[in-house]
Amino acid sequence: MTERSRLTDRPRLQIALDSFDLPSALGPLQKASANVDVIECGTILILCEGYRAVRVVRALYPDKPVLADVRIAEAGSKIARLAFEAGADLVSCVAGASLTTIRQVCKVAEEFGGEVQVELADEWYDPERARRWREIGVQHVIVKRSRDREAAGDLSWKPEDLARIDELASIGFTVTVTGGVSAQDLPAFAGKPVGIVIAGRAIVEAEDPAAAAAELQETIAEVWP
């Protein structure tokens, strides 16, 4: 993934699979896979199906980067190792994890040639801590509009969200945006150094997942020409 990110400034499209079982996840994925760049085995899917979800997706799509969205908070080396042994290319940590935990995850990721991302919470952001993450080997950071924030009716992307993208990219991270992202949301990020766009429900719950993913790719090309 790192090599590809150096070759293009256009964000990659990541599909988030957060179904309660593998058949429900694989159906939309099979339809949309040609139009997505990264496959995420989401937290809910892994909680329900275990690392089997990662192994199955890895076997079916050997040429696609796979993220195990395990949101590591502690036991970093053990959880990261399980994810990478299952075939993940990336694992996720929560922003509140200790630096010791994140360092453990980065060490295991290096052993497997994998990558690490940290997912920011709505109310949690410390630029100095983010710099430490980068120093110890984290490559990716997620700026999100949380599912709970959406449920509360807050569908906006705030100025502070957009400012975080600039600051985190300047530190050296690949910045991912997520949170109910649709094609209609993407113009809000015009000119921003976004590396990955995550879309879950916009693709998985679409009547035509392939068309929904294609529309997102087309919009990405328009917003980041």
User: What three-state secondary structure class fits 150?
Assistant: helix
Domain ranges of the chain: 11-223
Model pLDDT, residue 9 = 76
Examine the pLDDT at 30 and tell me if it is beyond 90. Answer: yes
Q: How high does pLDDT run on average in the chain?
A: 91
CA distance 13 to 10: 10
71 Ramachandran zone, left/alpha/beta (phi>0; psi -120 to 50)? left
Cβ neighbours around 182 below 10 Å, total: 15
2 contacts 115 by C-beta, under 8 angstroms: yes
Q: What is the pLDDT of residues 67-106, one digit of tens each?
A: 999 999 999 999 999 999 999 999 999 999 999 999 999 9
Phi, psi of 103 (to 5 degrees): -65, -40
Average pLDDT of span 209-213? 98
Q: Which two tokens stand for residue 199?
A: 């879309």
Phi, psi of 90 (to 5 degrees): -135, 150
Q: Which two tokens stand for residue 135?
A: 């120093």
pTM of the model: 0.91
* Residues ≥6 apart with Cβ < 8 Å to 143: 120, 161, 164, 165, 168, 175, 176, 177, 178
Domain 11-223, second-level architecture: Alpha-Beta Barrel (3.20)
pLDDT range class, residue 154, cuts 50, 70, 90 = low
Could you tell me whether strands 12-17 and 115-119 are parallel, antiparallel, or unpaired per DSSP bridges? unpaired
